[in-house]
Amino acid sequence: MIPVNKLVEVFYTMLGWPYASPVTNGPAGIDCSGLCSMAYLLCGISIWRDSELKEGYPIHPAHVSDMRVGDLVYFPGHVALYLGNGEYIHSTARAGDNGVVINSFYPDSPLYRPDLPKQITAVGSYFARREAT
């Protein structure tokens, strides 16, 4: 099993990459699921490359209330990695961000993005500890 800090480290190396369509994926640009799948792959783990949980891959459902560092957070058509302290890293095409950025679920943070916290559809974890029911 990969250490969670190694996974987070890999995500941070992609901070600032521009957003691009799913066919690009690399330093020239990357989309949200490309970011997550590439970071995991660089750590030796092959995950489903889409913005939803898929049975048969090593990301398993987790409780939103027990979200931990390294968990994937799913939204309609979007996925991000939870960094802890209410922050997450993702690739977005949203005007003003347009690339790999860090945002926050907390309204009092300058990194707050108000549209995503209300839209969480699932949380998935590679790290064994619990499953959603």
**Active site (catalytic) residues:** 32, 78, 90
Single-letter code of the amino acid located at 23: V
Neighbours of 56 (CB within 10 A): 5
Nearest Cα neighbor of 70 from 57, 89, 98, 55 is 89
Asked if residue 123 lies in contact with residue 74, where contact means CB atoms within 8 angstroms, the answer is yes
102/81 Cα distance (integer angstroms): 10
Tokens of 57: 């891959």
Asked if residue 57 lies in contact with residue 37, where contact means CB atoms within 8 angstroms, the answer is no
